[in-house]
Amino acid sequence: MSRIATALTIADPEGFYAELLAVHDALSPEASAALNARLILLLANQVGDRAVLSEALQEAARGSDTAG
């Protein structure tokens, strides 16, 4: 049974997306990767639910292979 949200939960999705890109502006690939790592840890702690995190990891690991 799916635990992760598949429907939109973020108010102002376009604004969030723009903000997400903005924090990476002018960063080197290494600095971007470091920022992403910090962001993932902060968000993961915010989510907390271990099963949701596992499902999100598996979903992300599927990458672009959406048929998988």
Cα–Cα dist 24/44, whole Å: 19
**Nearest approach, Cβ of residue 59 and another protein (Å):** 17
| AA letter at 23 | V
Contact code string over 15-54 relative to another protein, x by CB under 8 A: ------------------xx-xxx-xxx--x---------
What amino acid is encoded at 53 in this protein? L
Shortest distance in whole angstroms from residue 43 CB to another protein: 12
Whether residue 55 contacts residue 4, with contact meaning beta carbons closer than 8 Å, is answered with yes
Binding site for another protein (CB under 8 A): 33-34, 36-38, 40-42, 45
